[in-house]
Chains A and B, each alone.
Chain A
């Protein structure tokens, strides 16, 4: 039996050697699979040997069986290893063929092309700041009654202040009344107070119109009106709101502000407000330097205006302000020419416009 065993074991060793060698020399996955079938397939050499096991004597069966299993295992492992190698080689060779010229340009896509107009962007910045201070947003029509635009605001007919407004008019109605293109956003004060009871805390942004056109004036521009009415808001609160606004809007730690006495028929006391700035090259730096730039008009709401909307001026009080949106946009972002805002030149809009994802919020910072 020893002979049988020895002979058989010698054969097995040769077979293993032969199989391992053909695995090693299999040049691709198909050839490797042929080797696998020839060795481990149903009719493969190792499978055949397994089948012969049954005809062996029980004492031989055990050791021979162990030997075959060992070969089966080592051949199986060798095939597995070789397969991995061949697969890796095949992938490497495929990848070598697959070369894209990654310098070819792609489409930049819609997000990079589109722009938000600076007026819209700055208006949203203003919303964000005043919303945090509890102001809601009111609106009114562009074509206004003479009453809302002037008379209710304590500017009676023939008042010299009317001449300063360069008003666009419409043809008189059969009853003699005449509508106007609103010359300021202040009529929204009247609309709001006629419709609501105090307390009121609103801003009202929008288009306004003056019959004036030159280097620094356009017949249409944008204002935001502010109005607070309650039982205790005074000039000190107005100063605070405007200072907080300017710091938040220009994103500076402190801002120098100058309140100059002035006159608006619908506020009393009335003030114009300047901010301090320095000009460094073409850049305007708010909060530095000692030059002054006027940015808004404001004051305590005139008792006559309160009476005109049936509020009792002894009970209610508050402030109003009007800010030029175009003007503060120019100051903050450095556009040199107001007229270009409305010329719809793609080059200007692309250059000064904002990306669609530049969404102003207080959490991320209001500017882009």
Chain B
């Protein structure tokens, strides 16, 4: 919403400075977005007198003018304007001036051999209008050398404020003035609009043609004919205001409707009455109807849309846009003014479906003052009569405007209850009265009548807001909240704690946390869907963001690829966040995922004199997964490992950590080479993903740790090497060795894997170190021998492996 300072002061008597007004607007909820003072942009432009105008020696259409700006020397200017002539007063820009309309800073220039210093400007060059037929001619009264802006009354700051959707009353300057007055910044002036009398009825028939169910689409329609007008250009003051707020003046009849729309938030429409046929009426559109709108486009209204029509068909969308064919031109001599009430929701829907943004729609969809129909017509009539003369009819009102006579029983202690602010009843009443509320009663409970222009006020909390808004929240005393506990209690849920633990752990393993988009391209999502039901966004911002991610891996792969393309070929990235197996709340799950690319091992990436720069492999991913499982409070060594990872992993180099047959804790592996090549990734990448919600809750209640059982007897280490079939999993051997004597064997480590033809076809050798921890006595040779045989026997039984000789 834009207006100028002088416009505001038409409605508000105030001594406040511009800055005070701006601050107050912002504080009471009418947030100032921009203030433009045209005196700044128009600063270089002064009144210049053309003291001579000779024909250019080398060009027929150019003149060489000498311009006096009141200084010691005159300026010589080459000018092509047909109206440039000796004795006229124009707007002069000296060299160095910035000309906004042509986005150019003037320099001295030679035009066809004659030096020109400065410029006589047209309205378009100063962005005052589109007028460019000739240069601006100033009245005789203008003082040579004076500021152009001041001379023409353009020294009027333009203020733009953001209006929240609940305040349609502030889509008119008078509403803004009323709020400022209520906030104590001045006094609202008396409304200058008077009822316009007439001695004849409006001869144009008006009807509302709705069924009982759809009657609220347009419950009231008022109209007036003014005969014998002489349409012309609007007066300068109105054109200036319209231009200042970014509206293009068209002609007096049309300009008046725009002016009232901004002055009172009351949209109107004017028709050339001679172009109307029969009865003008509001109704819902019928299938197949068409009309040409004022924006030059043809529309086909849907049957739910309100239209204004006459006997020839649809003229325009009610409350949104009028029709081209019945618009007012300079030839119009009889004008019909429409002032109606259109339903906010239907207007919003019509506007959105038709794709039309207009000042009228903006106001109707927020809810205009239903009591403003006749007043709006009277105001427009007064303005038209002043400029165009003519003879107004009586206003004809059809239907009933939906004026709700709302009153709220308001217990003024509500203000203290909800805000802590203690106010005197007198202050409260005064604010509400200045806002236009009708306050009666004097006790704690008052009766508050709501003005017709405030559709947003329906209950006592709304009144609390009004009072606090205008008093200012600064006045509300700050009060400390009660502390619930002496020492703050932990507040994180178990899963929130786990997320934090995982995050620090993975960063501690050298991985860099990324946050990637929740939506990814559909084709990519399909590769990672596994058993998820993919969910597409109906209105994605681009095809790159079309589908809710079923896994975090694809986003991390895309990130890896972008880093790779920039030359960062070693990257370890992780993300902890939500992914989606469907669109129900329970389909959203938290995944802890990470990838490693190139040589990005936990101890560092790239070649180094201390160690080789091997490519990462499945075991890096497994180690990451195992570390996170440990952070979750589970022992990865006791988890089951199976090979059935989803098919976006390498089929041979991937696995799952499971807790029992049903629960998957994590999955890990090399990413399938086919997927990498589809994504255009040149490097090898491994990854893991872990599912926080799949972990059992930690059940331990006691803080006491179990007692430490540290035996006094020396531990014994023994090595064993077994020859096994190549396809026997090492996990089986380890499990068998550990289980050979659970009391005695405290640790089994696999320290060697050897594969060679010399072992026999399809054989491998695995070597383990077993730690024996006796509890009651030092082990003798025979004890150790016995344990060794048990281990060898158990391994053989489980794996078929033979001890290597």
**Interfacial residues, chain A to chain B (CB-CB below 8 A):** 104-111, 113-117, 119-120, 124, 127, 131-137, 139-143, 158-161, 163-164, 168-171, 179, 181, 201, 207, 209, 211-213, 219-220, 228, 233-237, 239-241, 243, 258-263, 265, 268-272, 300, 302-303, 313, 317, 341-347, 349-350, 353, 355-357, 359
Q: B491 an interface residue at 8 Å Cβ cutoff? A: yes
Contact with A along B590-628 (1 / 0, CB 8 A): 000000000000111100111100000000000000000
Instruction: Find out whether the CB atom of A239 lies under 8 angstroms from the CB atom of B478.
Output: yes
Return the contact of B469 from the options A104, A120, A124, A269 (Cβ within 8 A): A269
Instruction: Let me know if A141 and B588 touch, CB within 8 A.
Output: yes
Q: Is the CB of B536 within 8 A of A235?
A: no
CA distance A270 to B462 in the complex (A): 10
- B573: which A residues are within 8 A, CB to CB? 344, 346
Q: A114-B511, A134-B484, A303-B461 are in contact. Are A317 and B167 (CB under 8 A)?
A: no
Which of A170, A263, A302 is the one whose CB lies under 8 Å from B461? A302
Is B235 in the interface zone, CB < 8 Å from A? no
Contact status A143-B580, CB under 8 Å: yes
Partner of B491, one of A120, A137, A139: A137
What residue in chain B is nearest A303 (Cβ atoms)?
B461
Task: Say yes or no: A213 contacts B541, CB within 8 Å.
Answer: yes
Min CB distance A114 to B, Å, is 3
Tell me whether A169 and B538 are in contact (CB under 8 A).
yes
Distance in Å: Cβ of A298 to nearest Cβ of chain B: 10
| Contact partners of A349 in chain B: CB under 8 A | 512-514
Q: For residue B609, which residues in chain A have a CB less than 8 angstroms away from its CB? A: 104-105
Contact yes or no, A300 B461, CB < 8 A: yes
Instruction: Tell me the nearest residue of chain B to A164, going by C-beta.
Output: B165
- The answer, among B462, B489, B510, B536, for a CB contact under 8 Å with A171, is B536
Closest to B560 in A: A344
Contact at A113–B572, with CB atoms within 8 Å? yes
B517 at the interface (CB under 8 A from A): yes
Contact of B548 among A143, A241, A259, A317 (CB under 8 A): A143
- Per the bound structure, the CA–CA distance linking A157 and B604 in Å amounts to 55
Task: Check if A219 sits within 8 Å of B545, measured CB to CB.
Answer: yes
Residue numbers in A under 8 Å from B540 (CB-CB): 168
C-alpha gap A5/B230 in the complex (Å) = 160
A134 touches B585 (CB 8 A): no
Can you list, as one digit per residue, whether each of B557-597 has a CB less than 8 Å from chain A (1) or not (0)? 01100110010100111001110100111011000000000
User: Complex: how many Å from CA A20 to CA B361?
Assistant: 118
Q: Contact partner of A261 among B469, B496, B588, B603, CB < 8 A?
A: B469
Q: For the complex, is B102 an interface residue (Cβ under 8 Å from A)?
A: no
Complex interface: chain A residues within 8 A of B476 (CB): 235-236, 239, 259
Instruction: Name which of B415-423, B643-651, B729-737 contacts chain A.
Output: B415-423
Chain B residues with CB under 8 A of A169: 537-539
8 Å CB interface, B490-508 against A? 490-493, 496, 500, 503-508
Inter-chain pairs besides A143-B548, A207-B577, A343-B562, 14 sampled, C-beta below 8 Å: A116-B503, A120-B503, A134-B483, A141-B585, A143-B583, A143-B585, A233-B481, A261-B27, A262-B164, A263-B29, A317-B417, A344-B515, A344-B559, A356-B505
Cβ A127 vs Cβ B536 within 8 A: no
* Size class of the B contact interface (CB-based, 8 Å): 35 or more
Given contact pairs A117-B515, A168-B539, A263-B166, A124 touches B500 in the complex (Cβ within 8 A): yes
Which residues in chain B, 646-678, are within 8 Å of chain A measured between CB atoms? none
A20–B289 Cα distance when bound, in Å, is 131
Q: A235: nearest residue on chain B (CB-CB)?
A: B419
Bound-state CA distance A48–B611 (Å) is 61
Closest 6 CB pairs of A and B: A261-B29, A344-B559, A263-B164, A236-B420, A114-B507, A110-B510
**Residue in A117, A243, A357 whose Cβ sees the most chain B Cβ within 10 Å:** A117
Q: What residues of B have a CB within 8 angstroms of the CB of A181 in the complex?
A: 518, 537
**CB-CB < 8 A to B516: which residues of A?**
342, 344
Residues of A within 8 A of B783 (CB): none
Q: How far is the CA of A85 from the CA of B572 in the complex (A)?
A: 55
Q: Which of B148-197 contact A (CB under 8 A)?
A: 164-167
Q: Does chain A have a CB within 8 A of B28?
A: yes
Can you identify 29 A-B contacts, CB atoms within 8 angstroms? A110-B509, A113-B510, A113-B512, A114-B511, A115-B512, A115-B513, A116-B503, A116-B504, A120-B576, A127-B492, A134-B485, A141-B588, A161-B165, A164-B165, A170-B535, A171-B538, A220-B519, A236-B476, A239-B478, A240-B480, A260-B26, A261-B29, A300-B418, A303-B459, A342-B515, A343-B562, A344-B559, A350-B512, A353-B513
- CB distance B568 to A131 under 8 Å? no
B345 to chain A: closest residue by CB: A158
Whether A106 contacts B29 in the complex (CB less than 8 A), given A131-B491, A142-B518, A237-B420, comes out as: no
Interface residues of B (CB under 8 A from A): 26-29, 31, 164-167, 344-345, 348-349, 352, 365-366, 416-421, 459, 461-462, 464-465, 468-469, 473-474, 476-481, 483-485, 488-493, 496, 500, 503-519, 535-541, 545, 548, 555-556, 558-559, 562-563, 566, 568, 571-573, 576-578, 580, 583-585, 587-588, 602-605, 608-611
Q: Is the CB of A137 within 8 A of B418?
A: no
Across-interface contacts of B562 in A (CB, < 8 A): 343-345
Minimum CB–CB distance for A174 against chain B, Å: 13
Chain A hits for B493, CB < 8 A: 137
Residues in A whose Cβ lies below 8 Å from that of B519: 219-220
Q: Which residue of A lies closest to B366 (CB)?
A: A160
Q: Which residues of B contact A132 (CB under 8 A)?
A: 488
Q: Is the CB of A269 within 8 A of B419?
A: yes
* Distance in angstroms between the alpha carbons of A269 and B164 in the assembled complex: 13
- B468 nearest CB neighbor, chain A only: A269
Task: Tell me if A240 and B478 are in contact (CB < 8 A).
Answer: yes
Among A108, A115, A228, A234, contact of B417 (Cβ-Cβ < 8 Å): A234
CB neighbours (8 Å) of A201 from chain B are 484
A209 and B583 CA atoms in complex are apart in Å by 15
Kindly report which residue of chain B lies nearest to residue A263, judged by CB atoms.
Answer: B164
Collect the chain A residues with CB atoms within 8 Å of residue B348's CB: 158, 160, 163
Which residues of B sit under 8 angstroms from A233, Cβ to Cβ? Answer: 481
**B residues less than 8 Å from A342 (CB atoms):** 515-517
Nearest-CB distance from A124 to chain B (Å)? 7
Tell which of A110, A170, A213, A243 touches B537, judged by Cβ atoms closer than 8 Å. Answer: A170
CB distance from B364 to the nearest CB of A (A): 11
A169 to B536: give the CA distance in the assembly, Å.
9
Pair A236/B537 contact, Cβ less than 8 Å: no
Across-interface contacts of A359 in B (CB, < 8 A): 504
Q: Is the CB of B496 within 8 A of A113?
A: no
A294 to chain B, nearest CB (A): 9
Contacts of A117 in B (CB 8 A): 513-515
Given contacts A117-B514, A168-B537, contact A259 B473 (CB under 8 A): yes
Q: Which residues of A contact B555 (CB under 8 A)?
A: 344
Residues on the B chain within 8 Å of A158, using CB: 344-345, 348-349
In the assembled complex, the CB of B411 is this many whole angstroms from the nearest CB of chain A, namely 10
Q: How far is the CB of A226 from chain B (nearest CB, A)?
A: 12
Give the residue of B165, B474, B538 whose beta carbon is less than 8 angstroms from that of A263: B165
B610 touches A356 (CB 8 A): no
Q: Smallest Cβ distance from B571 to chain A, in angstroms?
A: 6
Query: Are the CB atoms of A237 and B481 closer together than 8 Å?
Result: yes
Q: Which of B505, B507, B535 contacts A115 (CB 8 A)?
A: B507
Chain B nearest Cβ from A320, distance in angstroms: 13
For the complex formed, measure the closest distance between the CB of B453 and the CB atoms of chain A, giving whole angstroms: 16
Q: In the bound complex, do residue A236 and residue B478 qualify as a contact, i.e. CB atoms below 8 Å apart?
A: yes
Contacts of B473 in A (CB 8 A): 235, 239, 259-261, 269, 271
Asked if B604 and A134 sit within 8 Å, CB to CB, the answer is: no
